[in-house]
Amino acid sequence: MTPMPAATPLSARVPGRVNLIGEWIDFNGGIVLPMTLDRHVTVGLTPNKTDKDLIRSAQFADQGAFPVDAPAAGHWSDYVRGALQYARNARWIAGGVDAEIASDIPVGAGLSSSAATIVATLRAASAGLSSVEPVSIAQAARQIENEFIGVPCGIMDQMAVALGRAGAALALDTRDCSYRLVDVPSDWVFAVIASGTRRALADGRYKERRGECLAAAQALGVDLLCDADISAAGRLPANLAGRARHVIGEGVRSRRAVDALSQGDRPAFGRLMSESHASLRDHMEVSVPAIDALVADALTLGADGARITGAGFGGCIVCLVEAGRAASWWEDLSSLHPAAERIA
């Protein structure tokens, strides 16, 4: 539990998320299946009657002090400032603010700390304005990430942290943002394990993979890559063929996974997760050897399924384990991988 920053009238608490399946398809027309974590970011805002935002975080030693209209500066406070600028344009708040941030969501681990920070800031800034719906907050947060931060992400993370609830996964159709919450059976545990390798989405590889997906869709004559015919992928250059194979296959897997979850079919769900990992490793090429080793050992030790989660290039794995064996499974896995950390 993260302590709330000192009570201010404008405050919000928002969870991180883990994506169970449906990776790299939230801008390709797919269904994704994220779930919130019991890790949160809290934001408290106090208008300061100046033309500067002053942003402090319990996690970072330096504070961010910037004119209210300053562009992104590659600083951790960008996520807060982008949201504050949006909130001022929407006339939710006026002038500069003092912002206090506290979070126990690991940064750079693929658990949406940035989406949670933006959504929490937007929620705090619009506290008390009943007309601001969670879906609008999520869409605004994506716009801030795309335009202010400069990462061309899809809508999954923002929707997950704005709409998710504990104990359920969010089956989200990214074509139209329709969704339903599907309860997770009480004997299923989704263990989230940090590998110790961090990554940064703004480092260009996300943009590169996204560009390849768009190029593959164009070459195959579809607007959304999930709609392409997998048998046509072979005529593309090797990198685009790989991206197409992953995205088309993942679109099918995530639909099946929603069914398996609804039916309580744990072995089927686990198999789909492991197939997703193999495809992310071989076709999307977003895994790293340390993560592949962690996934392989998680399966050998008895997980029903395991995969890298989030954009990849390091970060976390998510594993499905039967509740009764989760504790001993983790004991065995952590003795093989002492640097691994259990997040959930």
Among 83, 137, 153, 303, binds ligand GLA (CB under 6 A): 153
Among 311, 320, 321, 344, binds ligand GLA (CB under 6 A): 311
Among 53, 78, 157, 275, binds ligand GLA (CB under 6 A): 157
Among 156, 184, 260, 344, binds ligand GLA (CB under 6 A): 156
Q: Toward ligand GLA, which CB reaches closer, 17 or 271?
A: 17
The residue count for binding ligand GLA (CB under 6 A) is: 9
Among 5, 44, 154, 314, binds ligand GLA (CB under 6 A): 154
| Annotated catalytic residue, options 157, 176, 187, 297 | 157
Give the gyration radius of the chain's Cα atoms: 20
- Quick check: 310 binds ligand GLA (CB under 6 A)? yes
Q: Judge residue 21's burial from the number of C-beta atoms within 10 Å of its C-beta, 0-12 exposed, 13-18 middle, 19 or more buried.
A: buried
- Quick check: 284 binds ligand GLA (CB under 6 A)? no
Q: What are phi and psi of 148, to 5 degrees?
A: -85, -50
- Quick check: 275 binds ligand GLA (CB under 6 A)? no
State the minimum distance, in angstroms, from the CB of residue 314 to ligand GLA.
13
State the minimum distance, in angstroms, from the CB of residue 154 to ligand GLA.
3
State the minimum distance, in angstroms, from the CB of residue 79 to ligand GLA.
12
Q: Toward ligand GLA, which CB reaches closer, 97 or 151?
A: 151
Which positions from 64 to 93 touch ligand GLA by CB under 6 A, shown as an x/- string? ------------------------------
- Read off the DSSP letter of residue 223: S
State the minimum distance, in angstroms, from the CB of residue 100 to ligand GLA.
25
Neighbours of 263 (CB within 10 A): 11
Give strand pairing partners of 18. 35
Q: Which of 152, 70, 67, 158 is nearest to 121 (CA)?
A: 158
Which positions from 10 to 49 touch ligand GLA by CB under 6 A, shown as an x/- string? -------------xx-x-----------------------
- Quick check: 96 binds ligand GLA (CB under 6 A)? no
Q: Which of 92, 90, 66, 93 is nearest to 79 (CA)?
A: 66
Q: What is the DSSP string of 142-164?
A: HHIIIIII-----SHHHHHHHH-
State the minimum distance, in angstroms, from the CB of residue 153 to ligand GLA.
3
Q: Toward ligand GLA, which CB reaches closer, 44 or 310?
A: 310
- Give the range of 151-159, 222-230, 271-279, 293-301 binding ligand GLA by CB under 6 A: 151-159
- Read off the DSSP letter of residue 203: G
Taking the CA atoms of residue 34, residue 40, residue 45 and residue 50 in that order, the dihedral angle to the nearest 10 degrees is: -80
Q: Which of 28, 85, 81 is nearest to 251 (CA)?
A: 28
285: left (phi over 0), alpha (psi -120 to 50) or beta: left
- Token readout for 67 is 């004119």
- Any catalytic annotation for residue 157? yes
State the minimum distance, in angstroms, from the CB of residue 142 to ligand GLA.
8
Taking the CA atoms of residue 81, residue 86, residue 92 and residue 95 in that order, the dihedral angle to the nearest 10 degrees is: 50
Neighbours of 188 (CB within 10 A): 18
Place of tokens 């959930």: 344
Q: Which of 276, 277, 257 is nearest to 267 (CA)?
A: 257
State the minimum distance, in angstroms, from the CB of residue 161 to ligand GLA.
11
Q: Which residues have a catalytic role annotated?
A: 157
Which stretches of the chain bind ligand GLA, using CB under 6 A? 23-24, 26, 153-154, 156-157, 310-311
